[in-house]
Amino acid sequence: MRGQLKKKEKQVDKLLDSAVAERFCRLAERVDSLRGLRERNPGNTDSDSLTESINVVINNSISAPVAMEKLESAWRDYSLAQEKLKACQTKEQLGDLIDNRNKVRGVLAATVESFLQETKCLPVRQRMDKLKEVSSSLTAVFGPASMEGDVGEQAFEQYYQWRTQRSRLTSSVRDGTDKALKALCTWSENVGKFFCLSAKTVVGVNDIVDGVNELLKQAEINVAKELDSPLSEQNNHETKVVSNAFHKVMQHIQSEQSLLSDIMEKYLLNTKFKGEMLQWQNASPTPDSLFSVKKRIRSLRAQLRWRQVEEASLEEAEDFDLTEILKKKEEIAETRNTLFQEIGQERKEYMKLSALAEGCCPELPLLYPEADIHSHMSSGGLVVKSLDRNMFDAEPMKELSGRRPLVCTEFQGQRVILKRSCSPFSDPLAYVMVPYFPNGSLWAVQAAKPLTATETVKVMRGVARGLRALHAAGVTHASLNPNNIFVLHRHQGMVGDYDFIKTPVQRAMDSGMVAGSISLVAPELCQTQGTPPTPACDMYSYGCLLFWVKYLHVALSDDVYPLGQEARLQALLSKLLVCVGRLTAAETLADDYFLSDQ
């Protein structure tokens, strides 16, 4: 009987030891898991960054300067006064309009000064950098924000309510866990003190026996509660609250960035305006410098003509003196160069006056009609009346001359051709100056040595860019053919000029609109006589030229087009050599054929 009792006691002891060990082992594993969880998620870091961003955006925002609204009103009044001056046609009305403009400009200048002083005190650049940093940080966490729709004015309030409630719940659960584990640690310390025989202790048996099961149980419950707590995850409502707050703060950022950009733009514009006002506050601009240049030009032109007469006399004299003739030619060349420099200075003066007339002083052309500022402005500075053909040491170009003779000369280091043309800016004759590239036409290059596949891409890309620029300016070339496309160094293509005497219809139907046996005239122009050409007609001619260049390469060269490039070229031609829906020049440049080699 006694033996059986001892055996049962041993079994009970063994079971108790096993149960206690398992409980502590289980608790230790869960505490270790909880430690990892807290390390990975010491707090709700996403919402922490969002909260911090909201505080930065809302609490440190920059408002529009007080003077900004007055500034816009002052600029409207000033612009209206300037428009009235531009529209003025008679000198009699100028006085009152200028007085009114000056009065309005005085008000604007004072408002500008107030705005600049106020803006100078604002940390606009620093704020823009900070907003950019916050925006990038939030985007990295939450992804790109949609600026469409309004998430409501309560977005921040709802977020802060959720944030406070969630923080309170999280703290409550963590405090409970920490309290239970701390009690267990205190019990463990008492056990250590009690079993230490080398030191005296006040810890008794009851201190290490009483309530140990309850301490262990409470620790297990609290650890499990925190591990299983749903606070680490957001439900749909909470996710929406956070998302709304994120989108709201991004909208605030975008709105303030727009305001700050507007402030910076206005600051730069008004600083420039202030500088102009300071420049002309004591005296209004006049074309006196232009008149001085024109006076020197007249003097130099007279000198040039006289020396040309002297040269002709020396050449016709019976006593032919080569030394004197050469000396006179040097004098003529020197005078001509000086004259060209003065004409260049005249152009600079015209550019200054044109800028003033288009800006702060629109009254200049009417105040000084003798300066002829309107002509320079209306031609975009392309017409230079001080130049004439007799100034140049020009040579006839018989090989290029047709019904109208062409001459070749040098101007500012560039060989140019002077082409006679009718123009409203000259009475009645004008000359167009264009660069001269001997043997540089596409026809001449193809006749000498056809372009390779790679060279064709580069050259025809340049031609397409030229057409894009013309079409963007509202100009239809209508005369694109191998003789007025130029090739520089076999890798740069340029669109040449057209016959200025002919109308677009006449140019488009000219007999020169061929490339070999290929007609370059768009089919729609052949169907109805007199149909005005369009940019689409230019693109048809361009497609034909591209086909012609490729055909000559295949016919006259041993090189083979790469298969990939051949396929891309055929695809491009199929979109150019059609009756409707042709590619524009811009679309052509974006085609795979031109993008593949970049």
* Helix, strand, coil percent content, the chain, rounded in steps of 5: 65, 5, 30
Distances (CA, A) of 21 to 14, 209, 210, 355, 368: 11, 16, 18, 93, 108
Residues 234 and 232: their CA atoms lie apart, in Å, by 7
Neighbours of 549 (CB within 10 A): 22
The residues with which 514 forms a beta bridge, in sequence order, are 519
What is the C-alpha to C-alpha distance for residues 337 and 229, in angstroms, rounded to an integer? 91
Is residue 545 within 8 Å of residue 588, measured between CB atoms? Answer: no
Peptide bond into 428 cis (omega under 30): yes
486's enclosing H/E stretch is strand 485-488
How far, in whole angstroms, is CA 474 from its chain's centroid? 23
Cα separation of 181 and 152, whole Å? Answer: 44
Is residue 104 within 8 A of residue 78, CB to CB? The reply is yes
DSSP string, 394-462: -EE-TTT-SSS--EEEEETTEEEEEEEEE-TTSSSEEEEEEE--TT-BHHHHHHHS---HHHHHHHHHH
Q: Taking a C-beta distance cutoff of 8 angstroms, is the pair 485, 441 a contact?
A: yes
User: What is d(CA 448, CA 488) in angstroms, rounded to the nearest whole number?
Assistant: 14
d(CA 465, CA 486): 13
Question: Which residues of the chain, if any, have pLDDT below 50?
Answer: 11-12, 15-16, 424-428
CA–CA distance, 170 with 235 (Å, rounded to integer): 15
The answer to whether 290 and 349 have CB atoms below 8 angstroms apart is yes
Strands 395-396 and 407-411: antiparallel
Please write the tens of the pLDDT for every residue from 196-225. Answer: 877 777 777 776 767 777 877 887 787 777
**DSSP, residue by residue, 38-76:** HHH-SS-HHHHHHHHHHHHHHHT--PPPTHHHHHHHHHH
Q: Which residue reads 């870091």 in tokens?
A: 45
Number of Cβ within 10 Å of residue 472's Cβ equals 12
Alpha carbon dihedral 56, 62, 63, 65, in 10-degree steps, equals 170
Per-residue pLDDT at 278: 80
Beta strand 407-411 with 414-422 is antiparallel
The CATH superfamily assigned to 442-595 is: Transferase(Phosphotransferase) domain 1 (1.10.510.10)
Return the pLDDT at 428. Answer: 46
